[in-house]
Copies of this chain bind each other. A is one copy, B any other.
Amino acid sequence: MYDADIADGWDIAGNANGGYLLALAARAMSDSVGRPPMSVTGHYLTPGLPGPCEIDTDVHRAGKRMATVAGQLVRSGENVLSALGLFADQVPGGPVVQRAAPPELPPIEQCVRRPPPAQPSGFGDRVEVSVRPADAGFYDGQPSGEAEVCGWFSFADGAPIDVIGLLLIADAFAPVIFNQPEFAPSWAPTLELTVQIRGVPAPGPIRCRFVGRYMQNGLFEEDGELWDSDDQLVALSRQLALSPRG
């Protein structure tokens, strides 16, 4: 069991960002087996308000190279996040095949940095999320018509981005559904988020592409690709979220 803290200032309208919570849990799970995350799934049970919490970890298997660990982030006796993950180092080598490319982004200073639409939110001060102008219309009530959001990510204080940081980035941008005019740009809570770590990021900002393809039955998925400054894919993410009810 790990004592932890849902720190102030990582919230969107009072509730801690989902990627922040996943990173918090994964850090404890990683520590319990001494290996970095390779694939982590989190299920969101109740909103995470700031304050002390505990993270219960349970090692399901620890092999020579890989370990499987369950984690629960509990605050005031309430289970906020249930997680399950595989922890192992990346092992470079072997053939490399990439059948897709990083998103084409203008320089950071030509992208759009705005606070999260829901206010007050501390999260927007902690992270530097700069959205490609073509995808940023939703901030002004002009959704692009395509459920896609691409942009740059850095921490506002310039902190380096490690593999745990990638878990946070996977949920740092506004929901892609905000660019579909069929839906109101309101709360789109994440139910489940899975992040595959696919490389150790080189220093510098991360380029991100988030895309949704299927919005039906009140649900949508959001697929993320995270790229480092060496054009290396460093993470793939997918979440299932509730569509805004308008």
Tell me if A128 is interfacial: C-beta within 8 Å of chain B.
Answer: no
Q: Which of A109-117, A155-163, A232-240 contacts B (4 or more CB under 8 A)?
A: A232-240
Minimum CB–CB distance for A61 against chain B, Å: 5
Question: Which B residues are in CB contact (< 8 Å) with A99?
Answer: 146-147, 212-214
**This chain: copies in complex:** 2
Q: Interface size of A by Cβ–Cβ distance < 8 Å?
A: 56
| Complex partner residue of A192 from B86, B94, B218, CB under 8 angstroms | B86
Contact with B along A113-129 (1 / 0, CB 8 A): 00000000000000000
| A41-B218 in contact (CB<8A) | no
| Complex partner residue of A96 from B94, B196, B216, B236, CB under 8 angstroms | B216
Q: Closest residue of chain B to A98, judged by CB?
A: B214
| B213-A100 in contact (CB<8A) | yes
| A92-B215 in contact (CB<8A) | no
Tell me if A144 is interfacial: C-beta within 8 Å of chain B.
Answer: no
Contact with B along A186-220 (1 / 0, CB 8 A): 00000110101011000000000000111111110
Question: Which B residues are in CB contact (< 8 Å) with A72?
Answer: 60
Tell me if A3 is interfacial: C-beta within 8 Å of chain B.
Answer: no
| B198-A216 in contact (CB<8A) | yes
Extra pairs beyond A60-B82, A86-B192, A93-B218 (6, CB < 8 Å): A70-B70, A91-B217, A98-B215, A192-B194, A196-B240, A221-B236
Please report A residues at the B interface, Cβ cutoff 8 Å: 38-39, 41, 43, 45-46, 60-61, 66, 68, 70, 72, 79, 82-86, 90-100, 146-147, 180, 182-183, 191-192, 194, 196, 198-199, 212-219, 221, 232-233, 236, 238, 240, 243, 245
Question: Which B residues are in CB contact (< 8 Å) with A98?
Answer: 213-216
Question: Which B residues are in CB contact (< 8 Å) with A213?
Answer: 98-100
Given known A61-B45, A82-B68, contact A180–B97 (CB-CB < 8 A): yes
Interface centre among A41, A86, A217, A233 (most CB of B within 10 A): A217
| B39-A96 in contact (CB<8A) | no
| A240-B39 in contact (CB<8A) | yes
